[in-house]
Structure 1
Amino acid sequence: MKIIATIVLFLFFSACKSPEARYPVSQNSGSYIDESVERNREMIAEEEDYIKQVMGKNPDTEYLTSADGFWYYYNEKSTDTTNIETPEFGDVVVFDYSISTIEGEPIYGEGEKPTREYAIDREKLFTGLRQGLKLMKEGETVTFLFPSHKAFGYYGDKEKIGSNVPIIAKVTLHNIKEEQTNNETNNQE
């Protein structure tokens, strides 16, 4: 009987033990992410060097560097000193654009993409073009040189532009319609 009582007490006390955390069979140190970040940095540096080489082949063109990490030049710059407005958040812009490779081979020629209306920062548009439109005034035509991370990135456009392809986009801004605030809308009614 003592043996049975001892077994019961042993089972009782061992059953009251708190659960222990289970540890994974293998642990990652995060090195994959570090390696991926380093690969991306190297790829961006190579693309930027190549874009700079292309710009060096056109010494007569005055390239400007944007704070957002791309280059551009004016094909047609606005000379209207009274209208210095550039689009801001919510403004609707009407524009045309064409896209080519960094070497100048057309991907989407002029007129191939329809004229587009776009509400600044409220609709989907690739990063570089979204940032580039904010630099433009009505009537201007600007050519932008975008590294792939400012263009269509890893996924491409799923049509003609592949993965990690830097591009040139020639953009003509036709019109800027300022965003109407609720007060302006109510006053018009």
Structure 2
Amino acid sequence: MNKFLTLALIAFTFACKSPEARRPISVKSGSFIDASVERNKKLNAREQALIEKFMTQKQENDYIASESGFWYFYNTKTDIDSLQTPAFGDIVNYDYDVKTLNGSTIYSFAELKTRTYTIDKEELFTGLREGLKLMKAGETVTFLFPSQKAYGYYGDENKIGSNTPLMCKVTLNSITKTKDD
């Protein structure tokens, strides 16, 4: 009986050990993300160089770097300070075309027709959405968008390919202010 009690005590001691953490079957590293970041940095640098080359070839324009990561110049500028730029919810009426940086037309003014857009309430590619907010009624501005501000990796699944920097000439016809209480 004494042996049985000792054996039961030893078995009970080893049976009550604390649980161990399970190890993952596969270990994932950040190598995919690191590689993706590196690819995007190279793509961004390449597009930056293309846009800078374009700007040095066309020095007759006064280029402005936006806070949003694209460049633009005024074809027609309104110097009337009383005119306002559109704000959230305002409705804008505009015309635009889309070209490659070498000047090849992708979509003409006639193809795209006059558009109406409610600021920040409808779908529009990032660069144009931000660009319209910089304009006053009656102005025409040419924007130079790197691909991440245009149609990015997927393009428009029609005429604009993957990772294509774009040049868009935009005329803002009117701004209809809305009241948000």
Same fold (TM over 0.5): yes
2:154 aligned residue: 155
* 2: CA distance, partners of 1:23 / 1:141: 61
* 2: CA distance, partners of 1:140 / 1:147: 22
Query: How do 1:61-100 and structure 2 match up within 5 A?
Result: 61-79=61-79, 81=80, 83-100=82-99
What fraction of aligned residue pairs are identical, expressed as a percent?
A: 54
1:125 aligned residue: 124
Q: Which moves more between the two structures, 127-136 or 21-30?
A: 21-30
Q: CA deviation at 1:15?
A: 8.1
Task: Please give the secondary structure, in 2, of the residue aligned with 1:37.
Answer: helix
* 2: CA distance, partners of 1:152 / 1:24: 39
AA at the equivalent of 2:179: Q
Q: Identify unmatched segments of 5+ residues in structure 1.
A: 1-7, 183-189
Task: Please give the secondary structure, in 1, of the residue aligned with 2:112.
Answer: coil
Could you tell me the TM-score, scaled by structure 1's length?
0.84
Q: CA deviation at 1:18?
A: 6.8
Where do 4+ consecutive residues of structure 1 move more than 4 Å? 8-21
Q: CA deviation at 1:29?
A: 2.1
Q: Identify unmatched segments of 5+ residues in structure 2.
A: 1-7
Q: CA deviation at 1:141?
A: 0.7
1:116 aligned residue: 115
Task: Please give the secondary structure, in 2, of the residue aligned with 1:111.
Answer: helix
Q: Are 2:45 and 1:45 aligned? A: yes
Q: Are 2:160 and 1:146 aligned? A: no
* 2: CA distance, partners of 1:82 / 1:174: 17
Q: 1:53 to 1:82 in 2, by over 3 A?
A: closer
How many residues end up aligned between the 2 structures?
181
1:186 aligned residue: none
* 1: CA distance, partners of 2:96 / 2:13: 76
